Structure 1
Amino acid sequence: MKKSTEELLKTLKHAPDYDSYLKNEQENFTVCPLSDYLSALCAKKNTAPAQCISRSGLDRTYAYQIFSGHKNPTRDKVLALCFGFLLSLDETQTLLKCTGYGPLYPRDPKDSLIIFALQRNYSIADVNELLFEKGFSLLH
């Protein structure tokens, strides 16, 4: 079972050296190749990449390059994929952490709008329309 962040921090504080911490806690780290994570999400959600890509609103060629590991998307493109996968807020936060981006932050106006949209199962078109109305950059 994965340790909580607090448990990992406690272990790290008491580790005799970094190498032993790294070796012992490897399974608890969230950073992984995005293409692997996206493949796992496809299996978990029983969704084909084409279906996710279509719902994400991303350019098809570019999105397939993300899925194959040839492109490293921006945070906004990762968020578009989250809408394509119909992810929950928790699943979105996990994907953002896995890609090395910061989680959605409710004190940030754009992030709070995205959280609002995720909680209400907005489509990418709906969230982009709302982002446009509020003067924010779109997710694709």
Structure 2
Amino acid sequence: MGKDTSKIVEELGICSDFNTFYNENKDYMVSDTLSSLLEKLLAEKGLKKSQVIKNSELAEIYAYQIFSGVRVPERKKLLSLAVGMSLKLDEVQLLLKCAGYSQLYIKLPFDSIIIYGICKKLSVMEINNLLYDYELETLG
């Protein structure tokens, strides 16, 4: 991952020109597309799309369209894929950031249950049951 975000923001505030700032920090910027990041994570973890899709409980065609970049999933669907891939919290946060969504925030009840589920390696169904128990919208 690299440099802390607050450090990058601090550097931006004191830089004399954006070009210098960008050249010094471009390696820390998110540059992957969502589909390329998903492919990279699949390869790193030695996962098969078919198993991830089954674990994510998403419709098969829809999920394959996400992987190919044809569809941009809503945040909840992306979280289902992340759970289906058994991603670590920092990987989920990167995936959300890459897709342009807000990262998980522990003080939001929905997000705190998702974080709990990720840390405890719960399935989508188990996370949905917890969300339902707390009268929150489920992942799908």
Q: State if a TM-score over 0.5 links the two structures.
A: yes
Decide whether the 8 Å contact of 1:106 with 1:115 is kept in 2. yes
Q: Which amino acid aligns with 1:115?
A: I
Cα offset, 1:16, TM superposition: 1.8
For 1:108 and 1:95, locate their aligned partners in 2 and report how far apart those are by CA, in whole Å.
19
Give deviations 1:24-74, integer Å, cap 9, x for gaps: 322111252000000000011100111111100111100100000011111
Alignment match, 1:134: 134
Cα offset, 1:107, TM superposition: 0.7
Q: Which amino acid aligns with 2:105?
A: Y
The reply on whether 1:48 has 2:48 as its aligned counterpart is yes
Cα offset, 1:3, TM superposition: 1.8
Q: CA RMSD in A?
A: 1.5
Structure 2's unaligned 5+ residue stretches are none
Task: Calculate percent identity across the aligned residue pairs.
Answer: 37
For 2:23 and 2:100, locate their aligned partners in 1 and report how far apart those are by CA, in whole Å.
20
TM-score (norm 2): 0.92
Q: Which amino acid aligns with 1:121?
A: K
Moved more, 100-109 or 10-19: 10-19
Aligned residues: 140
Decide whether the 8 Å contact of 1:3 with 1:28 is kept in 2. yes
Alignment match, 1:80: 80
Runs of at least 4 residues of structure 1 off by over 3 A?
A: none
Alignment match, 2:115: 115
TM-score (norm 1): 0.92
SS at match of 1:105: coil
